[in-house]
Amino acid sequence: MDEFDLTAAESKATYEEIKDYVLKHSGLKISNLYIAQIKQKYGIIERANYNLPKSENFKQSKCPPEKEAAIREALEYFKMI
């Protein structure tokens, strides 16, 4: 194995690293919810969500397009997609 090869764990950025990257490069503040939505959209599902809403009429905010683009850029920078 080359010394420059990344393991799966090394190629994953934390939510804080993604937030910092997006804030620095686009000036947008993003939430963990938006990061999770975009990661799920691109097939990066880390674990099942056990904190499910109790009501059937629960509405979850959707990630705005400009924040989605910024998060996607961060995920590409960290080689997650």
Residue 30 identity (one-letter amino acid)? I
What per-residue confidence (pLDDT) applies to 10?
A: 54
On whether the CB atoms of residues 17 and 23 are closer than 8 A, the answer is no
* Rounded Cα distance, 22 and 72, in Å: 10
**DSSP secondary structure letter of residue 62:** P
- Per-residue pLDDT 10s for the chain (81 aa) are 445 555 555 568 999 999 999 999 999 999 999 999 999 999 997 787 788 888 888 888 999 999 999 999 999 999 999
Tell me the whole-structure pTM to 2 decimals.
Answer: 0.80
What per-residue confidence (pLDDT) applies to 65?
A: 97
What per-residue confidence (pLDDT) applies to 60?
A: 85
Tell me the domain boundaries of the chain: 15-45+60-77
